[in-house]
């Protein structure tokens, strides 16, 4: 007779945060944060500077002890089995950890040796990773000569040498130029396609939108929303119909023309824009036809979905960038492992 195998409910979750709390003296950096990340998916931990993202990641990666709560990575508890947690994960911190005086290849070898990997394997894996991260030509140059984007890619390559099934990336693209950012996104998508579970923190709403299957929004140490990017956008209300007139002097006439056909209309003189609640494509087409007949020249007419920026505003009552001035953390806690990062000097949300 077959014996039923009891599979723990959590088995499909590569990462679980369970009521994580972290106090630094009087500062409550993380205040009861819980979430799960199903295997093979991407979680975007989204929040402004000082929200508690890095602290959450540090607790989940055994770099700092929770004040309360716990986390599991690949089923291993950070409190009771930190070694297994570390063996199951890779981490790229906010500050680059590459050794500038070593070449890219030497950085990879060093970390591979720390993991106890054999040298033939390290050689092969390094070649692969350098190739994959477009660093093959630069592999034998010292990292000091690398651009910011190259260092980030090397950092990521280094954290992948031991092929961890779970990867934590703390603000992987902060400080990168737009092109390097898009390149890194592509690399991350490939990793996920190969089965890696990814948790990335970001202040960039667009980044979470681009990469994440699920988003957890944190603000002041607590989870204020979670869902797919689409769900979060839906929470902040319906799409808008946006009409941009070519000439500012036409605005008034345009408003009068539009008003009978929409529920309400908002005029933004600076942007030469009229915004109304959208009522579907057919509605937009009708409004476009009315403008056509009127002779008022439009620059643009379209439907605009709420952005994650709108979502953030809706959820918190403030735009993400308004809190940019918050915080700077100080030095890492003493006794913490080396990969710590407290680099809060970078810029905030776009």
Binding residues for Mg ion, rule: CB under 5 A, are: 53-54
Place of tokens 């990666």: 61
**Binder among 333, 346, 347, 350 for ligand ADP (CB under 6 A):** 333
Nearest Cα to Cα of residue 14 among 189, 213, 148, 183: 213
Q: Kindly give the pairing relationship between strand 240-245 and strand 27-38.
A: unpaired
- The residue among 170 and 183 lying less far from ligand ADP, judged by its C-beta, is 170
3 state DSSP class of 19: strand
| Shortest spacing between CB 293 and ligand ADP, in angstroms | 52
By a kind-dependent CB cut-off of 5 to 8 A, residue 333 interacts, out of ligand ADP, Mg ion, none, with ligand ADP
- Closest residue to Mg ion in the complex (CB): 54
By a kind-dependent CB cut-off of 5 to 8 A, residue 49 interacts, out of Mg ion, ligand ADP, none, with ligand ADP
| Shortest spacing between CB 193 and ligand ADP, in angstroms | 28
Give a three-class secondary structure readout of 105-125: HHHHHHHHHHCCCCHHHHHHH
What is the size of the binding site for ligand ADP (CB under 6 A)?
Answer: 17
User: What is 276-314 written as a DSSP string?
Assistant: EE---HHHHHHHHHHHHHHT--EEEEEEEPPPHHHHHHH
* Angular region, 306: left φ>0, alpha ψ -120 to 50, beta rest: beta
By a kind-dependent CB cut-off of 5 to 8 A, residue 51 interacts, out of ligand ADP, Mg ion, none, with ligand ADP
* Angular region, 126: left φ>0, alpha ψ -120 to 50, beta rest: alpha
Q: Is 66 in the site for ligand ADP (CB under 6 A)?
A: no
| Shortest spacing between CB 171 and ligand ADP, in angstroms | 8
Nearest Cα to Cα of residue 184 among 169, 205, 163: 169
User: What is 139-165 written as a DSSP string?
Assistant: TTSBGGGS-HHHHHHHHHHHHHTT--S
| Shortest spacing between CB 74 and Mg ion, in angstroms | 23
8-27: contacts with ligand ADP (CB under 6 A)? 24, 27
Name the one range near ligand ADP by CB under 6 A: 13-21, 35-43, 46-54, 305-313.
46-54
| Shortest spacing between CB 147 and ligand ADP, in angstroms | 24
| Cβ(18)–Cβ(32) below 8 Å | no
- The residue among 200 and 276 lying less far from Mg ion, judged by its C-beta, is 200
Q: Is 67 in the site for ligand ADP (CB under 6 A)?
A: no
**Burial class, 122, CB count within 10 angstroms (exposed 0-12 / middle 13-18 / buried 19+):** buried
Name the one range near ligand ADP by CB under 6 A: 118-126, 183-191, 277-285, 324-332.
324-332
Name the one range near ligand ADP by CB under 6 A: 76-84, 154-162, 299-307, 322-330.
322-330
252: tokens are 């008034």
| Cβ(290)–Cβ(257) below 8 Å | yes
Q: Is 330 in the site for ligand ADP (CB under 6 A)?
A: yes
> What residues make contact with ligand ADP under the rule CB under 6 A?
24, 27, 29, 47, 49-55, 327, 329-330, 332-333, 342
């Amino acid at each position: 007779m077959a014996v039923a195998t009891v599979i723990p409910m959590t088995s499909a979750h590569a990462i679980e945060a369970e009521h994580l709390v972290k106090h630094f003296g009087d500062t409550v950096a993380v205040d009861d944060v819980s979430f799960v990340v199903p295997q093979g998916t991407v979680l975007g931990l989204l929040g402004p500077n000082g929200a508690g993202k890095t602290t959450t990641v540090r607790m989940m990666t055994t770099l700092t002890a929770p004040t309360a709560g716990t986390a599991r990575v690949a089923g291993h508890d950070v409190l009771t089995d930190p070694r297994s947690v570390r063996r199951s994960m890779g981490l790229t911190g906010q500050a680059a950890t590459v050794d500038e005086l070593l070449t890219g290849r030497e950085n990879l070898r060093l970390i591979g040796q720390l993991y106890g990997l054999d040298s033939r394997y390290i050689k092969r894996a390094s070649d692969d990773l350098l190739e994959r991260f477009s660093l093959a030509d630069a592999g034998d140059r010292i990292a000091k000569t690398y651009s910011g984007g190259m260092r980030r890619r090397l950092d990521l390559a280094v954290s992948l040498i031991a092929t961890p099934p779970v990867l934590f990336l703390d603000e992987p693209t902060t400080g990168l130029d737009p092109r390097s950012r898009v390149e890194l996104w592509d690399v991350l998508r490939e990793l996920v396609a190969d089965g890696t579970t990814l948790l990335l923190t970001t202040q960039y709403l667009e980044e979470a939108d681009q990469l994440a299957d699920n988003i957890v929004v944190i603000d002041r140490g607590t989870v204020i929303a979670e869902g797919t990017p689409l769900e979060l956008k839906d929470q902040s209300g319906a799409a808008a119909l946006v009409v941009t007139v070519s000439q500012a002097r036409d605005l008034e006439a345009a408003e009068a023309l539009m008003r009978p056909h929409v529920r309400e209309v908002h005029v933004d003189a600076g942007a030469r824009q009229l915004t109304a609640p959208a009522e579907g494509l057919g509605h937009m087409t009708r409004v476009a036809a009315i403008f056509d007949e009127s002779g008022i020249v439009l620059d643009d007419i379209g439907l605009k979905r709420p952005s994650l920026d709108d979502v953030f505003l809706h959820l918190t009552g403030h735009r993400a960038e308004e809190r940019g001035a918050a915080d700077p953390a100080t030095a890492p806690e003493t006794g913490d492992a080396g990969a710590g990062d407290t680099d809060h000097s970078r810029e905030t949300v776009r």
